[in-house]
Structure 1
Amino acid sequence: MSLQEARGYDSSLAGRSILGNPQPVSIRAIGEVTQPGFYNLPPSVSPVADALRLAGGITPIADLRAVRVCRYLDNGEVSEEVVNLYDPLRSGAPLDELRLGNGDVVVVPKLDFAQADNYDSNLVASSTLAARQPVAVTILGEVAQPGFQVLPFSPRPVADALLTAGGITSEADLRAVTVRRVLTDGRTSETKVDLYTSLQTGSPLPDLRLGDGDVVFVPKVESNTDEYYDRVLVSRSTLAQPQIVVRILSYPGGGISIAPLPNGSTIADVLSAVPLQQADLGKILLVRFDPEQGKAITREIDGKKLLMGDPSQDIALQHHDAIVIGRNLISKITYALSTFTQPFRDVLGFLLFFDTLRDSASNLFGPGSDNNN
């Protein structure tokens, strides 16, 4: 009997007759189930749903609206039927009673973002059909530790993915976090998640579910789009990398130090640890590696204006920034950077440049050295 014929055939009536002898059937469950494979399904009033439970339950990215059942007929043809388990789940109506037979294949597709409207992933995830299993995803872009991550089951998957990757950097644009998914037919589905609005307004975080193989990409905020983007709010949020490391080259401080600071710290936070009466506050140098240009960029800060309350001088610091305090040392660093014949290849070369200066700190800052030279 084909699956289309089975729709109009009361197999329960036949099973209860003197001709019937209900037996377990051997089926295969594949797709978005936690344990794809072969199973012996006992007689059931909701066979398709019980087949998914037998396979360990569905994954967080299963689309219950289009579960396919495939049956190979004796004449070599393939009979196929689509079962919608989502609508009964949402309305409380009885589940589909399509009977399964030996050799039937139940296929659970991935949720396509383009067809995700009016699909309540939270409802599906909290149902008895769902499995609460960790998922393996790839997290790239402006996070502290990009790469492969295993995420536990969570009601806020995208946000927790960023935290698992060490938090976002100060350059992350939370307005357009991108999630990419490869569908069963090889097509790529993509959607954007806005975490910034939730952070700014206190509204609930997006509940987009992640599944095995998904890629989460956090873009870098563009300078021409950050007019209304509060970087300080983002850097001090729980989604941000909790700590940054800044190098401080200070003549009044007597050396070169590596300072761990809370994310969201500014130049003013660094000055609080500097002997201000000995510092040349009129000319503080902020040095930052620009990976796009492959070189260090500098900016002069007027510490006197900063202490007088000028917010334009209180720059938010980023991971791996270097701060130079002291006129003579500024001249040395500016000269060294301007005569550096090759650009820095990456941030490691940028950091090694300053670590080399730190190794010779006794010559630069020692009591017997001639700093005017």
Structure 2
Amino acid sequence: MNGAIVSLAPVVALGLFLLPSAGIAQVVDRTSNTSVRPTIDPSLPQSEDSYLLGSGDRVRIDFFNVPEYSGEYLVLPNGAVNLPQVGAVAVQGRTLKQASAAIAAKYEPYLTRPIVTIGLLAARPLRLAIAGEVNRPGTYNVQAVSASADTGVPSVTRLIQLAGGITQAADVRQVEVHRPRPYNTGADKVIKVDLWQLLKTGNLRQDLRLQDGDSIFIPSATTTNLEEAQRLAAATFGAPSDRPMRIAVVGEVNRPGPYILTPDQTNPTNQTNGSAVNPLPTNANLKIPTVTRAIQTAGGITQSADVRRVEIRRVTQAGPVQTINVDFWNLLQSGDLRQDLPLQEGDTIVIPTATALNDTEATKIAAASFAPDRITVNVVGEVVRPGPVQVPPNTPLNQALLAAGGFNNRAKKGEVTFIRLNQNGTVARRDVDIDFAQGLNDKNNPAMRNNDTIVVRRSGFTTVTDTLGAVLSPIGGVFSIINLLGF
């Protein structure tokens, strides 16, 4: 009888030792029935070496052969889980594997070789920050895993998208991810990311998966690569093209000032007077506004424009203004679309004044898509309808005469005087023999530029000056020029 009692005592003691102590925080689910246990979501990050636990995570902890302790637990605001027998165990900043080891170590005084496994039931939202060359810098709370296939696990490009996309001034080769070290021991770990490699080669390792507390910094580029600018504007993490954009166009355009470009370009607005601007149909369907589109909206360039030295002045998030030079003559000559730079909010386009322009270049520029679709030619003297006429760019002199109704019965029909005010302030004047059978040529049927003047004299010895005052009164400076030339 005494032997039986002695042999049973260790068993009873062990059974009592394994029972949970009174007063320990209650476990959400301690049932040993596996059919009602919470299911581990396979879409959640279960990798033991990647996901770091934190406050708000909901986990399933299983103790091998100890179902009383197994169940669902919440990581508390202090970063710990409250467990039977041992109380609080810190898991903040630990991987699932590290947390399992820490919990097993806590139970070693109570269990023989405890085996603990942890699965993630529900991940907490991640708190992330982004600064630098994005449209909406700041902090964001992001679900660790989204049911949407378009979002998925938070990554560098996903956070950039949430922040409104990169600006055109971003240096995507030098993106930095600052990652806090566990328990804030030491300075943040800085991870370099090259998003240009992601675009160029599809290197997904550059699209780093983010962790709670990560912050992203996107620096400003020191120079702008025109070829890369086109690809960055079309990237999935570029700025969306569905929002109105405020820009300004100044210098040698017909309607300089600030403008709002709408996404479909159906109703761009001039902010100077609030009036709607009729868009040019050739550019109506562009999604990403470019320099050409802005110039068209501003009425096109003037005849004095220097298209070789167009400037885009861009304010960066860091403060300094970038100046980007584009050469629209290359765009006209060789179709170099890199020169048609994509724009961003706040850009200013500056069209300088040309110091010299030969007739061949002027003719080609006048026919460009960013030139105005109509020019004004002043036809004075003995024509049916003297005064300014609106004609397409590069209209021959003969056609401009016909647009004014042609010669009247008092005109000297064999010859007219052609006057042009040059960019350098000089005035060119020459007599041109009229032959309506002539094609376009510089000598007898030159192409018209904006504000050119054609003077048709009377036949005989009578000068044209007696009627010029009445004819030219709405034209302004043309009358003064003709007087200076001795008419």
Residue 267 of structure 1, aligned match among 397, 412, 417? 397
Residue in 2 aligned with 1:16?
Answer: 96
Matched, 1:240 2:371: yes
Residue in 2 aligned with 1:63?
Answer: 171
Q: Residues 282 and 301 of structure 1 are in contact (CA less than 8 Å); yes or no, is this contact kept in structure 2?
A: no
2:476 partner amino acid: L
For residue 329 of structure 1, report the CA deviation from its aligned partner. 4.8
Q: Residues 289 and 350 of structure 1 are in contact (CA less than 8 Å); yes or no, is this contact kept in structure 2?
A: no
For residue 172 of structure 1, report the CA deviation from its aligned partner. 2.9
Distance in structure 2 (CA, Å) of the matches to 1:65 and 1:136: 27
User: Which has the greater radius of gyration?
Assistant: 2
Residue in 1 aligned with 2:358?
Answer: 226
Q: Residues 292 and 340 of structure 2 are in contact (CA less than 8 Å); yes or no, is this contact kept in structure 1?
A: no
Aligned length: 328
Distance in structure 1 (CA, Å) of the matches to 2:291 and 2:259: 12
1:139 partner amino acid: V
Unpaired stretches in structure 1, ≥5 consecutive residues: 1-8, 336-348, 357-373
Q: Residues 70 and 80 of structure 1 are in contact (CA less than 8 Å); yes or no, is this contact kept in structure 2?
A: yes
Tell me, what secondary structure is at the counterpart of 1:50? Answer: helix
Higher mean C-alpha displacement, 153-162 vs 12-21:
12-21
Q: Residues 90 and 123 of structure 1 are in contact (CA less than 8 Å); yes or no, is this contact kept in structure 2?
A: no
Distance in structure 2 (CA, Å) of the matches to 1:235 and 1:213: 28
Matched, 1:317 2:418: no
Residue 40 of structure 1, aligned match among 141, 147, 165? 141
Distance in structure 1 (CA, Å) of the matches to 2:336 and 2:421: 35
Distance in structure 2 (CA, Å) of the matches to 1:267 and 1:28: 64
Structure with bigger RCO (C-alpha 8 Å, 6+ apart): 1
Higher mean C-alpha displacement, 284-293 vs 271-280:
284-293
1:85 partner amino acid: L
Residue 150 of structure 1, aligned match among 237, 243, 260? 260
Distance in structure 2 (CA, Å) of the matches to 1:282 and 1:222: 34
Residue in 2 aligned with 1:106?
Answer: 216
Distance in structure 2 (CA, Å) of the matches to 1:135 and 1:66: 27
For residue 235 of structure 1, report the CA deviation from its aligned partner. 0.9
Tell me, what secondary structure is at the counterpart of 2:375? Answer: strand
Identity rate of aligned residues, in percent?
Answer: 26
Q: How does 1:92-241 map to 2 (within 5 A)?
A: 92-94=202-204, 95-97=206-208, 99-102=210-213, 105-113=215-223, 116=225, 120-133=228-241, 134-151=244-261, 152=263, 154=287, 157-202=290-335, 204=337, 206=339, 208-223=341-356, 226=358, 229-241=360-372
TM-score, structure 2 as length reference:
0.56
Note closer, same or farther for the CA distance 1:266–1:206 as it changes in structure 2 (3 Å cut).
same
Structure with greater helix share of residues: 1
Unpaired stretches in structure 2, ≥5 consecutive residues: 1-47, 53-93, 100-117, 146-152, 264-285, 481-487
1:248-294, Cα deviation, whole Å (9 max, x unpaired): 222242x533311112223222223322764225663445556865x
Note closer, same or farther for the CA distance 1:330–1:16 as it changes in structure 2 (3 Å cut).
farther
Distance in structure 1 (CA, Å) of the matches to 2:215 and 2:247: 27
1:174-222, Cα deviation, whole Å (9 max, x unpaired): 3332223233444343333233333234564535322222222223333
For residue 322 of structure 1, report the CA deviation from its aligned partner. 3.5
Tell me, what secondary structure is at the counterpart of 2:170? Answer: coil
For residue 243 of structure 1, report the CA deviation from its aligned partner. 0.5
Distance in structure 2 (CA, Å) of the matches to 1:291 and 1:172: 9
RMSD of aligned Cα (Å): 4.1
